[in-house]
Amino acid sequence: MRIQFLGAAECTSGSCYLLSFGDKQILVDCGLFQGPEELKQRNYGDFPFVPAEIDAVILTHAHIDHSGLLPKLTRLGFKGPIYATAVTADLCSIMLADSGHIQETEVERKNRKLRRRGKPLLTPIYTVEDAAQTMDHFRRMVYDEEIEVFPSLRVRFRDAGHILGAAIVELWITEEGETTKFVFSGDLGNQQQPVVQDPTAITEADVLIVESTYGIRLHEDREGRLEHLAEVVNRTMDKGGNLLIPAFALGRTQDILHSLRVLQDRGDIPELNIYIDSPLASKATEVFLKHVGDFDYQTRTMMQENRSPFHGPNVHFTETVEESMRLNSVSGGLVIISASGMADAGRIKHHLKHNLWRREATVLLVGYQAEGTLGRRLQDGAEEVRIHGEPVRVAAEIETISGFSAHADQEGLLSWLRRFSHIGQVFVTHGEKESSHRFAELIAQELKVPVVVPKLDESFELKGAQALSTWDTSYREFSVEEDFAGVCQVTRRAEIQYRGAFGLAQRRFKIRNNYYTAFNLGSARQFFAKLALARLAEQGKANLPQAAEDWEGELERISGEAPWIVVAREVLAPAQLSSAYYYLDQLPAGAASGYTTTRTGQEVENIYAILREGLMPQLFASAPDLTRLWQLLAQGELLPLPVVEEILAPYWDQRLQVYKIEGKAPGAQVAFGGTLEEPTAVVVLSNGEQGVLHAFEQLAAGGGR
Ligand SMILES: [Zn+2]
Ligand SMILES: [Zn+2]
């Protein structure tokens, strides 16, 4: 059986694990990628599997980084059931609809610009309608109850204590008479977190997949953070200002409400006027109240004594924009909890605009503030910020309390791990690179078990408790020359074996190369012209010469059209490649600029390439494009296989035992090719002028051929 890590590998978003056993394929989670652009790109385009061939999805919890691509999955043909707890199902119905709405609005905004420029329009990843359809697939699970999904798969959900409804998942998979037990920690909660139970202790796992968000950090303890919160509330109320708390709608908002209730009951702070100004938070709170049975003991008791943390005479959920705006005219005495948690979107921005300049106000940050967000700028002590295009002076006090995480910290994770009496193999996921690796070392030392931090897309063959990466170990050793800028990818039988992106696509704006960046193929354009000519020959419109000095010239002579027009029609369109010809001074976003060294040794951007007939458009392609082209050629889909072999013959590299097509231009160097049997595509693209052949040789030699 096999496990592939399609998300949350050396990063915290996009959780998605593909398990293959017997004739079944299932996913654990199907989350949205967030954060850096190269990760977010993965939300678009195809999945690395066929959605219709997935037999079931097991969903750990409702957070969008675990559930956010489910509507895309069903939109693209997934027909099976999605197993989740009842709370998770209810929360998903509002979270996914909200996410669909965001996708639609984003694309609509971008399309307004594209329409004005007469460019092709984008379609959203999914819509509100898709999200609604997805809900029909949900099967509601009860904690601790074991069910049979297929004869070869049994599942049990255990309380993860992370947000309401979140689960640790236990899976028993039987293949060839042998049963392997998997445990997915999902996102693991904190001890003594408000509202939710503590995480359930598990004692056995052949294969354990554990998160590591806070693998190297410790949180403020519960009493410490309550005292800190009381201090901030009292100081702000004494000064007569408002207390603004940016908070995620799901989980954090309810945690804060709970803590404020506890402090009010103890008399540590006065009775407060609390406004929850986030429609999504209001809806999520309603869902919470439908599932009181899942609350922890303390919260259930509070509910029974009519001291609900979520309602009461002084807790107000604003509904309309008017109600929200009315809060802007109040200069003090309010606690306003509003989304988003990083203050980079949502209604919180309006409240900040009306309060930041007030000396008596306080902004309290209770969640992680990512680089580049308004919340982070405030945290870093900005004296002035821009909100909705207007400069706003920061006179308010900015406070941070770190203890409100819904994730276990290092000590919490370790104490959960120490409860196991048997672990066969550990995979550490869902953490920043450093956090995952250092936490993995700690586990290996403490528990004396094999630990791996999988790379994104890496897959492992599991034999008993042994896990063998299907990526040949030589790829793990793979390295590029220091100055290499570009992308490398190896794919065998449609499975990615290795990929890496290095250096900058655009130096001036510091845009990094990513897996989808398009590169100038330089003289490798000739190969495309040869393919186009062969296609014409197949249609009886031309003869394919044995050899030619200049295939573009031949193509132009025979077709009477510009070669790039014929290649686009005969090769790029039928292969459905996103490759295209561009003039170098008119590159679209997502294409790498070429960097070349002048005779005086200066490194410059190559905007104009002087070619045979003056300025010609250059062919740009990405690594996924060339991989797809190679697969189509190997499958005989573009041209009959004997013709493909004939075309490729001159490109055979005897030493490496692979086909190798090279291309060059000032500021561009590429090499791609591979083998036709077990189609293996090796692609190295660069927007510099060195390191390409070095990388290609290493990758072509790898893979145990
Ligand atoms: Zn989560
Ligand atoms: Zn998560």
* SS3 letters across 520-573: ECHHHHHHHHHHHHHHHHHCCCCCCCCCCCCHHHHHHHHHCCCHHHHHHHHHHC
420 Cα–ligand 1 center, Å = 23
Contact 674, 700 (CB under 8 A): yes
Q: How far apart are the first and last CA of the chain?
A: 22
Task: Return d(Cα 8, Cα 547) in angstroms, integer.
Answer: 49
299 Cα–ligand 1 center, Å = 21
DSSP code, position 41: G
Task: Return d(Cα 683, Cα 524) in angstroms, integer.
Answer: 12
Band (pLDDT 50/70/90 cuts) for residue 264 is very high
Q: Are residues 245 and 283 in the same domain?
A: yes
DSSP code, position 343: S
User: Does the pLDDT value for residue 463 go beyond 80?
Assistant: no
**The predicted structure's pLDDT at residue 704:** 40
The one-letter amino acid code at 448 reads: K
405 Cα–ligand 2 center, Å = 12
Is residue 222 classed as helix, strand or coil in its secondary structure?
A: helix
Order of strands, sheet of 204-211, starting from the edge strand that comes earlier in the sequence: 146-150, 153-159, 167-175, 178-184, 204-211, 422-429, 451-452
In which residue are the tokens 């692979």 written? 658
What ligand is nearest to the CA atom of residue 16?
A: 2
162 Cα–ligand 1 center, Å = 7
Q: How many distinct structural domains can be found in the chain?
A: 3
* DSSP H/E element including 596: strand 594-597
Q: Are residues 493 and 352 in the same domain?
A: no
Across the chain, mean pLDDT equals 91
163 Cα–ligand 1 center, Å = 7
pLDDT digits (tens, 9 = 90+) for 44-61: 878 989 999 999 999 999
**The predicted structure's pLDDT at residue 705:** 39
- The CATH number of residue 297's host domain is 3.40.50.10890
Q: Are residues 515 and 464 in the same domain?
A: no
* DSSP H/E element including 681: strand 680-686
Q: Residue 521: left if φ>0, alpha if ψ -120 to 50, beta else—which one?
A: alpha
What ligand is nearest to the CA atom of residue 407?
A: 1
Band (pLDDT 50/70/90 cuts) for residue 465 is low
Structure-token pair, residue 118: 């007469």
Q: Which residues of 274-291 are buried (b: 16+ CB within 10 A; e: fewer)?
A: bbbbbbbbbbbbebbeee
Contact 161, 200 (CB under 8 A): yes
Q: Do the bridges between strand 153-159 and strand 167-175 make them parallel or antiparallel, or are there none, so unpaired?
A: antiparallel
Q: Which residues of 635-661 are buried (b: 16+ CB within 10 A; e: fewer)?
A: eeebbeeebbeebbeeeebeebebbbb
498 Cα–ligand 2 center, Å = 25
Q: Are residues 299 and 265 in the same domain?
A: yes
pLDDT digits (tens, 9 = 90+) for 366-396: 987 877 789 999 999 999 999 988 999 999 9
Q: Are residues 12 and 65 in the same domain?
A: yes
What ligand is nearest to the CA atom of residue 251?
A: 1
What ligand is nearest to the CA atom of residue 248?
A: 1
Residues of the domain holding 156: 2-217+406-470
User: Does the pLDDT value for residue 309 go beyond 50?
Assistant: yes
What ligand is nearest to the CA atom of residue 161?
A: 1
Helices (H) and strands (E) in the chain, counts: 21, 36
What ligand is nearest to the CA atom of residue 12?
A: 2
Q: Are residues 517 and 550 in the same domain?
A: yes
What ligand is nearest to the CA atom of residue 165?
A: 1
62 Cα–ligand 1 center, Å = 7
- The CATH number of residue 183's host domain is 3.60.15.10
What ligand is nearest to the CA atom of residue 8?
A: 2
Band (pLDDT 50/70/90 cuts) for residue 472 is low
CA nearest neighbour of 532 among 499, 574, 504, 583: 574
Domain boundary (400, 425, 445) is at 400
Domain boundary (382, 400, 418) is at 400
250 Cα–ligand 2 center, Å = 12
**The predicted structure's pLDDT at residue 609:** 52
CA angle 194, 355, 367 (to 5 degrees): 30
pLDDT digits (tens, 9 = 90+) for 191-219: 888 889 999 999 999 999 999 999 998 88
What ligand is nearest to the CA atom of residue 31?
A: 2
User: Does the pLDDT value for residue 43 go beyond 70?
Assistant: yes
User: Does the pLDDT value for residue 9 go beyond 80?
Assistant: yes
Cα distances (Å, whole numbers) of residue 35 to 13, 40, 651: 8, 7, 41
Q: Are residues 556 and 675 in the same domain?
A: yes
Is residue 96 classed as helix, strand or coil in its secondary structure?
A: helix
pLDDT digits (tens, 9 = 90+) for 425-451: 999 999 999 999 999 999 998 998 889
215 Cα–ligand 2 center, Å = 13
29 Cα–ligand 1 center, Å = 11
* DSSP H/E element including 461: strand 459-463
Q: Are residues 269 and 375 in the same domain?
A: yes
Tell me the sheet residues that pair with 470.
none
187 Cα–ligand 1 center, Å = 5
217 Cα–ligand 1 center, Å = 17
209 Cα–ligand 2 center, Å = 13
363 Cα–ligand 2 center, Å = 25
User: Does the pLDDT value for residue 93 go beyond 90?
Assistant: yes
Contact 642, 538 (CB under 8 A): no
pTM to 2 decimal places: 0.75
153 Cα–ligand 1 center, Å = 25
599 Cα–ligand 2 center, Å = 52
DSSP code, position 120: P
Residues, CB within 5 angstroms of ligand 2 (ion): 65, 187
661 Cα–ligand 2 center, Å = 42
**The predicted structure's pLDDT at residue 41:** 83
29 Cα–ligand 2 center, Å = 10
Q: Are residues 258 and 351 in the same domain?
A: yes
How many residues are recorded in the chain?
705
pLDDT digits (tens, 9 = 90+) for 657-682: 999 999 998 899 999 999 998 899 99
pLDDT digits (tens, 9 = 90+) for 452-461: 999 999 999 9
pLDDT digits (tens, 9 = 90+) for 552-610: 999 999 999 999 999 999 999 999 998 999 988 888 888 999 998 877 877 788 776 55
What ligand is nearest to the CA atom of residue 13?
A: 2
CA nearest neighbour of 661 among 634, 696, 635, 636: 696
Count CA atoms closer than 13 A to 578's CA, side-chain side.
Answer: 14
Q: Are residues 211 and 243 in the same domain?
A: no
What ligand is nearest to the CA atom of residue 88?
A: 1
3-state secondary structure 373-388: CHHHHHHCCCCEEEEC
User: Does the pLDDT value for residue 318 go beyond 60?
Assistant: yes
Task: Return d(Cα 408, Cα 386) in angstroms, integer.
Answer: 34
Band (pLDDT 50/70/90 cuts) for residue 85 is very high
What ligand is nearest to the CA atom of residue 66?
A: 2
Domain boundary (373, 400, 427) is at 400
Give the rounded percent of residues in the chain with a pLDDT score beyond 90.
71
What ligand is nearest to the CA atom of residue 252?
A: 1
Q: Are residues 578 and 691 in the same domain?
A: yes
What ligand is nearest to the CA atom of residue 32?
A: 2
Q: Are residues 695 and 546 in the same domain?
A: yes
657 Cα–ligand 2 center, Å = 44
What ligand is nearest to the CA atom of residue 63?
A: 1
